[in-house]
Amino acid sequence: MRIKQTRDRAGSTAARRDQIVEATIAVLAERGYAAASYDAICEVAGLSSKRLISYHFTSKDELLAEVLHRVTTDAGAFMRPALDAADGPAAKLAAYIRSNVEFIATRPDHVRAVQQIVFGQVPVPSEESDSAIARLASLFDDGQRSGDFRTFDSALMATTLRAAIDAVAGRLVAGADPQVCADELTETFHRATRAEKR
């Protein structure tokens, strides 16, 4: 009985945290960083008291860090099937770009929320961004070892690709054609990384 109560409590806590995070994403996306007060989040989440937010998150910065984690997690889950289906480094690179652009086009609220957090200069941990760069650099390293990619600084190329996708995100949120954006980015980084013909 006690184990079931503990599980129920843990499930309830996780559900409440999810509710708060989703409401925070909505407020950031629709109203902006300056308007993302606990009152506004409570209104969107349907919470009776700001104390419910403070109970689950020790500070607003912690809440916003969780928003970034949620966006990253959601993007990873969305992109995973395309990456798993791709065969070889060049195909995985194309799948990474195309699925990332598709996620941005599909979830503009997530992108707007992240943009507002960046705009607000929130001091959030950089581990997830560093991890994303490291995974991309590993993909480039694999491609260089297999001969699919030319020799270049993998970490620098990974950072450049992330910066390019982040820059395109603003255009996508503003209504740019995701297919055109994906095609251009894919072609640009294919040309930038492909092995030289001998």
Q: pLDDT by residue (tens digit) across 21-69?
A: 999 999 999 999 999 999 999 999 999 889 899 999 999 999 999 999 9
- Looking from the CA of 40 toward its CB, the CA atoms found within 13 Å total 16
pLDDT given for residue 11 in this prediction: 63
Give the SS3 label for residue 152: coil
**Higher-confidence position of 92 and 16:** 92
Please, what is the average pLDDT of the chain?
A: 90
Residue 88 to residue 140: CA distance in whole angstroms: 11
Element (H, E) at 113: helix 108-119
* Residue 6 backbone phi and psi in degrees, to 5: -65, -45
Q: pLDDT by residue (tens digit) across 122-163?
A: 776 667 678 889 999 999 999 999 999 999 999 999 999 999
Residue 128 to residue 68: CA distance in whole angstroms: 9
